Amino acid sequence: MPQLTILRYPDPRLHTVARPVAVVDERIRRLVDDMLETMYAAEGVGLAATQVDVHERVIVMDTSEARDRPLVLINPEIVARSDETVVAEEGCLSVPQIYDRVERAARVTLRALGRDGAGFELEAESLTAVCVQHEMDHLVGKVFVEYLSAFKRDRIRSKMLKRSREEQRRA
């Protein structure tokens, strides 16, 4: 199974809005499997299709300690969110080595289709709730740095551009 290339901020393709998956077929199952492989290799807790330049509503996650509990969310929709919020330190595979605090709903209830195309409902809390919201933002073209101040975001953008120039030079 091939690993996929993860887009890096500020790539404008990260702001694409994903469309719903029409049918969970072999193509989608292959995408899911490749995304899981890519996520595990990158040691991330989640990955949205947007990050691998596929603009369909597909998310893979694994927030388990042992990294043996893959969670697949196709066409996810949040049906309820708690009024209570939490502030957690977030990172993103598309913005490597940048971490900052983001406020999110503490708990969310969502509906999605699994890898087998069957619908299910999930109540998420703690890291899973944070991660679900982070991944669903990717599907509407939003990266977590957009919650930070314009000052911080510009500094992150410059740092990322400088880093990619240096990588180009070394290549």
**Which residues bind to ligand GNR, rule: CB under 6 A?**
44-48, 51, 90-94, 130-131, 134-135, 138
Q: Decide which of Ni ion, ligand GNR, none touches 74; Cβ closer than 5 to 8 Å per partner kind.
A: none
Long-range contacts of 84-89 (CB under 8 A, 24+ apart): 86/129, 86/130, 88/127, 88/130
Q: Which does 44 bind (CB under 5 to 8 A by kind): Ni ion, ligand GNR, none?
A: ligand GNR
Q: Minimum Å distance from CB 80 to ligand GNR?
A: 20
Residue 164 Cβ vs ligand GNR, minimum distance, rounded to whole Å: 17
Distance of alpha carbon 159 from the chain centroid: 21
> What contacts 18, CB < 8 A, 6 or more positions away?
48, 49, 50, 54, 55, 56, 57, 58, 139, 140
Minimum CB distance to ligand GNR smaller for 24 or for 102: 102
What is d(CA 33, CA 26) in angstroms, rounded to the nearest whole number? 10
In the residue annotation, 135 being an active-site residue is answered as yes
The smaller minimum CB distance to ligand GNR, of residues 75 and 128, is found at: 128
Site string for Ni ion, 81-110 (x = CB under 5 A): -----------x------------------
Least distance between ligand GNR and beta carbon 103 (Å): 12
Using alpha carbons, select from 108, 102, 112 the residue that is nearest to residue 149: 102
Q: Please name every residue paired with 112 in a beta bridge, in sequence order, or none if there are none.
A: 120
Residue 90 interacts with, from Ni ion, ligand GNR, none (CB under 5-8 Å by kind): ligand GNR
Report in angstroms the alpha-carbon separations of 97 from 6, 28, 49, 123: 14, 30, 21, 29
Q: Give the C-alpha separation, 22 to 78, whole Å.
A: 19
Residue 131 interacting partner from ligand GNR, Ni ion, none (CB closer than 5 to 8 Å by kind): ligand GNR
18 touches Ni ion (CB under 5 A): no
- Catalytic residue, from 135, 146, 166, 167: name it: 135
Q: Note whether 58 and 31 are within 8 A (CB).
A: yes
Catalytic residues: 135
